[in-house]
Amino acid sequence: MDKIVILDFGSQYTQLIARRVRECQVYCEIWPYHLKGYDLNSPEIKGIILSGSRYSIGDANAPSLPPQVLESGKPVLGICYGMQLLVSTQGGKVVHAQSQEHGKALLQVIENRGIFENLAGDIVCWMSQGGSVKELPPGFRSIARTENYEYAAIRDETGKIWGVQFHPEVSHTPLGREILSNFLFRICACRPEWTPESIIKEQIQWIRNEVKEEKVVCALSGGVDSVTAAVLTYRAIGEQLTCIFVDNGLLRKGEAEQVFSKMKEILGKERVIYKDAAEQFLSALQGVVDPEEKRKIIGRTFVEVFEEEAKKLGDVSYLLQGTTYPDVIESISIYGPSVRIKTHHNVGGLPEHMQLKVIEPLRFLFKDEVRKLAVELGIPEEIVWRQPFPGPGLAVRIIGEVTEDRLQILRDMDFIIDQELRKSPIYKKLWQSFGVLVPVRSVGVVGDERTYKYVGVLRAVMSEDGMTADWARISYDTMDAIARRVVNEVAGIGRMVYDITSKPPATIEWE
């Protein structure tokens, strides 16, 4: 399959570049810029994209361009810092910009060929850099300019090396997808082969080759990642797979029953084991208020329960995990590959503890790609669109000690929030929406009576991948309906507030 390699120089937009490339149905991978342990000479690699960076040319410790990039002879597109690297490496001159250009700008296309094929005239683009190309290397020419930049886009005389001083990957560059598409198909001659059908076919074969006749166990959470990984693996190896669903008592209202029922329908009742361990988890959490301690206790208890159930299966060799590409990317620094891959906290300690080999069929997929795969696999819509849910469950949405009473209050509040938001057109645009129970009480009045009840928080954010998030602009009518219902219907809640903090600086979850 054709592949594009994106070299990461530390840009906040690197993942976004990858998402845009994949939206064009072309497979791509993000590699650290230094290329240690990586080889660009594979015939599958059809082109290279150089990301932007928080550095400028000439800064101390600024990343450099590995010689393998130009030596490979493959088409290259440099974005912002990536373009400046191409210029400075080949004899051009880059200086600190006298007037830095950040935000929207009007791009005047000089040469409507190559990456600007069928894009003549003026194009709105998003600029964000502190460096400026003062002099082009020999054999290069300007193909687009802005008011402040004579060399807003460039190419070399061979038509293999291209550079842009703006971000085609962001939504603020409306024709950015067309620019990237021109690079992929006109310059690199890629074929649009990255489809859900091709992914399923390829991964089924990979799973069979990897597992052979061995047994696989899956720690099923009920989220779209673990369910998709389980269904895909079941398609590949059938009854060699067994899923264990541990009910830790920290799930949302009706969630345990729904997940177990659906998975029995999908995989067959023999392939899914249900373990009710709610009492064990709540007992272990008694008196604990520190969020990190909660996570450790839940993780440790999960390992104990899961291991006990897995031992009953006999000789198991593999642990199936729903690790996705953002988990992999987060674990690889641009300054060197990490020895540790970040995994779901519940299963992170299981491979070493149980001496299992790990199989991760989704490790090169983004969340939206997992959902497309899930649809193709016939997974029910209510699971496909299930929002991300933290491994420790409602325990990290209750600030302070976790008790059965507080869990019931939060479940009831969360259920109403979900019901009301599902009526709104914004629901499918939300990355996450949920309630948080704050262990402080607030004075209220009901009739002639004074009340003193807990404060509930509504949290709803929009995001593409969870790495950054913005608070959702929910309508006043929807917020009003949520607040009225929660205060009237949920015993213990006397006041509702809406969290309007983005990530960063806050995290999506409160703990």
What is the set of active-site residues?
A: 80, 167, 169
CA 75 to chain centre: 28
Sequential DSSP letters for 17-77: HHHHHHHTT-EEEEEETT-TT--TT-TTEEEEEE---SS-TT-TT-----HHHHHT---EE
Question: Which residues make Cβ contacts (< 8 Å) with residue 241, sequence separation at least 6?
Answer: 215, 216, 217, 218, 230, 233, 234, 267, 271, 320
* Measured distance CA(26)–CA(45) in Å, rounded: 11
Closest of 120, 161, 119, 117 to residue 138, by C-alpha: 161
State which H helix or E strand residue 275 sits in. strand 272-276
Greatest alpha-carbon span in the chain: 84
Number of H helices, E strands in the chain: 15, 18
Asked if residues 187 and 115 have their Cβ atoms less than 8 Å apart, the reply is yes
Q: Provide the token pair at 352.
A: 């070493």
* Measured distance CA(124)–CA(147) in Å, rounded: 12
* Measured distance CA(160)–CA(178) in Å, rounded: 18
State which H helix or E strand residue 358 sits in. strand 357-359
Closest of 15, 166, 50 to residue 102, by C-alpha: 166
> Helix, strand, or coil here: 493?
strand
| R_g (Cα) of the chain, nearest Å | 26
